[in-house]
């Protein structure tokens, strides 16, 4: 409704892009962030939002470019740093993931993507107890994105499975897959 009254309001377009990303409508989110960036190419939150949309669309190179642009514009902006950490963790680059996660968490100790990356690094390094603790901490966060919640449930399953707790792992996997089903 706000955009009907003020179609070029950059704050509203940014908010719309964030909402579309949260709803899993990444293509529509990208369009909103593109509109913001056409008017204001130096707006770091729009670069980060577009990076998130591109990541969800599978354009990891483009996502990385926009997250890095956001960081260049605002070096202490924890969200794009955390996003790069999570992308590195998913790609198996534990060294980069660890460094980026530490950097993001030093700015914002509650940055979800950086926490996710830290949990993934612990899991990759077979620190199953650390991965379990990190996964449980993420799952206790009520504001975690539903897709991230699904991924955390799966990581929790891997962490407890690594400790030989098969029944708990199975329950976590079931919860994670059910969360994925709800998202998709």
Please give the full DSSP string across the chain, using - where no structure is assigned: -HHHH-TT-HHHHHHHHHHHHHTT-HHHHHHHHHHHHHH-TT-HHHHHHHHHHHHHTT-HHHHHHHHHHHHHH-TT-HHHHHHHHHHHHHTT-HHHHHHHHHHHHHH-TT-HHHHHHHHHHHHHTT-HHHHHHHHHHHHT-TTS-HHHHHHHHHHHHHHHHHTT-HHHHHHHHHHHHHHHHHH-
Q: What tokens were used for 92? A: 């198996």
What does the pLDDT read at residue 100? 98
What does the pLDDT read at residue 168? 96
What does the pLDDT read at residue 184? 79
C-alpha of 121 from chain center: 15
What does the pLDDT read at residue 5? 80
Among residues of the chain, what percentage have pLDDT more than 70?
A: 100
What does the pLDDT read at residue 22? 84
The CA–CA distances, whole Å, from 31 to 3, 19, 67 equal: 14, 12, 17
Give the model confidence (pLDDT) of 133-160 as tens digits. Answer: 999 989 998 878 888 889 999 999 999 9
What does the pLDDT read at residue 142? 84
Give the model confidence (pLDDT) of 5-18 as tens digits. Answer: 877 788 899 999 99
Give the model confidence (pLDDT) of 84-130 as tens digits. Answer: 999 999 999 999 999 999 999 999 998 999 999 999 999 999 999 99
Give the model confidence (pLDDT) of 18-41 as tens digits. Answer: 999 888 899 999 999 999 999 999
What does the pLDDT read at residue 2? 79
């Amino acid at each position: 409704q706000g955009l009907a009254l003020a179609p070029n309001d950059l704050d509203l377009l940014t908010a719309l892009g964030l909402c579309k990303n949260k709803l899993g409508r990444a293509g529509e989110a990208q369009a909103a962030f593109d509109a913001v960036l056409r008017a204001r190419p130096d707006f770091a939150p729009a670069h980060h939002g577009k990076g998130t949309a591109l990541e969800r669309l599978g354009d990891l190179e483009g996502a990385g470019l926009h997250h890095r642009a956001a960081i260049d514009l605002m070096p202490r902006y924890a969200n794009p740093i955390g996003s790069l950490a999570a992308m590195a963790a998913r790609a198996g680059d534990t060294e980069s993931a660890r460094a980026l996660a530490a950097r993001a968490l030093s700015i914002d100790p509650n940055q979800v993507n950086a926490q996710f990356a830290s949990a993934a690094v612990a899991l990759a390094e077979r620190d199953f107890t650390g991965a379990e603790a990190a996964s449980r901490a993420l799952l206790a966060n009520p504001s975690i994105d539903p897709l991230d919640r699904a991924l955390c449930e799966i990581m929790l399953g891997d962490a407890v499975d690594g400790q030989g707790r098969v029944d708990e792992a199975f329950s976590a996997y079931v919860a994670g897959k059910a969360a994925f089903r709800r998202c998709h």
